[in-house]
Chain A
Amino acid sequence: GAVVSQHPSRVICKSGTSVKIECRSLDFQATTMFWYRQFPKQSLMLMATSNEGSKATYEQGVEKDKFLINHASLTLSTLTVTSAHPEDSSFYICSARSHVLAGGYNEQFFGPGTRLTVL
């Protein structure tokens, strides 16, 4: 199956700093990437949908100026958490989808996630 990587896998930062998380599709071109957040013992919540070369579409309640998403190429999307606060501490997961691999279904392939802790 297709592989999606995330970097870093774990990051600890001080309150007020910015953190960038990378999501890469390693062996396919991802026309769309999705960013999710998962709090402990809760489900995945979609934050935004990112299409290569265009602005991301954010879900209701997600601050686009705080969570900056860039999808500059077909294999890379980045999520930058700006001016991070302790309440931003969470597990951030990306997924990538390619129409080429569809086979009748556009499966989303998930990255391994990034655990962010803001002190």
Chain B
Amino acid sequence: EDKVVQSPLSLVVHEGDTVTLNCSYEVTNFRSLLWYKQEKKAPTFLFMLTSSGIEKKSGRLSSILDKKELFSILNITATQTGDSAVYLCAVETGTASKLTFGTGTRLQVTL
């Protein structure tokens, strides 16, 4: 059974702090790893990673994948209150491109 585990489950930080969210996985037929941000409704896409060691960046967010150790991290620098959300990691597998989601990390950024 495919498994995706995220840590920590929740995190409270002050505005301006830097956070690192972790995602480890055990799956068969790995295709890619994706990060999503979920606020009140549906997840919004952040990154898709397929190759080890190549950092993806978008503004204050960045992510990297290690396919040997089977994990990924999502970094957020200079956090803002608008970053408060649940961050979901998902692994895409197989020819059907099925997504298996992790438990999510609930991030709260306070003033």
Contact = CB atoms under 8 A, between A and B. Distances in A.
Contacts of A46: 98-101
Interface string A48-86: 010000000100000000000000000000000000000
Contacts of A95: 99
The secondary-structure label for the interface of chain A is strand
B53 interface: no
Interface residues of B, number: 19
B41 A113 contact: yes
B110 interface: no
A34 B99 contact: yes
B103 interface: yes
A24 interface: no
Nearest to A97: B97
Nearest to A57: B96
Contacts of A97: 97
Contacts of B102: 43
A46 B104 CA distance: 15
B100 A113 contact: no
Given A105-B32, A105-B48, A45 B42 contact: no
Nearest to B103: A43
19 contacts: A34-B99, A36-B101, A42-B104, A43-B101, A44-B43, A44-B88, A44-B90, A44-B99, A44-B101, A46-B99, A46-B101, A49-B96, A93-B42, A97-B97, A105-B32, A105-B48, A110-B43, A113-B41, A113-B42
Interface of B: 32, 41-45, 48, 88, 90, 96-104, 106
